[in-house]
Amino acid sequence: MKTKLENALIGLAAAAAIVGAWALVAHGAGLPRLILPSPLEVWDRFLTIMGKGYKGHGLWEHLGDSLRRLFIAHGLAMVTAIPLGLLAGCRRLLRTALDPLISFYRPLPPLAYYTLLVLWMGIDDGSKVALLYLAGFAPMYISAAAGVSRIRPDYVNGARTLGASPTQIFFYVIFPVALPDIFVGLRNSIGFMYSTLVAAEMVAAISGIGWMVLDASKYLQSEVIFVGIIVMGLTGVLLDFLLNLLEAKIVFWRGRD
């Protein structure tokens, strides 16, 4: 408990130092507001957006629309990529067939194929969710398959010796051993998906925190850009924190002998 409190205090001190350095540079370097608004100016714009909204939508509405797209895509990736990754980890032939496809599309920039998704699925949320889904699929699949490959053969052989069926071996041996890697994939995937959010909301969107940042950049509204970036960053930290809590509850044996 003491270590967690110390870590929290160190993190708050680091954040305060960054804000202080930001304020000093903004006021001392003589930079125009267009280049670097001060923390106070960003805070004032944040309060304005909270009260009046941005382009007809409140801040929470922008954030809610983005999180809705994110959670739908993340859920779809979970129910497809994780089972497929576990199956590929157990079946070498399937992994041999799928790995080149995953390796081909994984490094592609989202904007490289987003236009195709819009042509195929339209300009509504379908193409946006599909883009986020593709961004999150690969990390989940790779982590699940890697988790299976870490299983020691004597664990499986021991279960077979005790008369366990293939289904029991999967649920009581393979799946628990792979869970830590699966959670690594969940955390990595939501990071990739969140970083793709601006690209997902750049076509035919009228709300979303990524769209707000993109729209503000067109009109050189630096304060709004900073507000959007900070809100996205804090939301990402919160999502990662919640996944860590969930992992600690579910994978409670991790790190123990």
Q: Which pair of structure tokens corresponds to residue 111?
A: 């904007």
pLDDT digits (tens, 9 = 90+) for 128-152: 999 999 999 999 999 999 988 888 8
When pLDDT is cut at 50, 70 and 90, the band that residue 95 belongs to is confident
For range 108-119, the mean pLDDT: 85
pLDDT per position as a tens digit, 51-72 = 888 888 888 998 898 999 999 9
Structure confidence at residue 133 (pLDDT): 93
pLDDT at 256: 52
- pLDDT, residue 257, reads 46
Mean pLDDT of 30-36: 76
Per-residue pLDDT for 160 more than 80?
yes
Instruction: Please give the average per-residue pLDDT across 91-109, as a whole number.
Output: 88
Cβ(49)–Cβ(59) under 8 Å? yes
pLDDT at 254: 63
CATH-assigned architecture of domain 56-250:
Orthogonal Bundle (1.10)
pLDDT score for 122: 83
Look at residue 230 and tell me whether its pLDDT is greater than 50.
yes
Average pLDDT, the chain: 86
DSSP state of 31: -
**Residue 33 clears pLDDT 80, i.e. is over it:** no
pTM of the model: 0.85
At residue 72, the pLDDT reads 94
What is the percent of the chain with per-residue pLDDT over 90, rounded to a whole number?
Answer: 23
- Per-residue pLDDT at 82: 94
- Predicted confidence band at 255 (pLDDT cuts at 50, 70, 90)? low
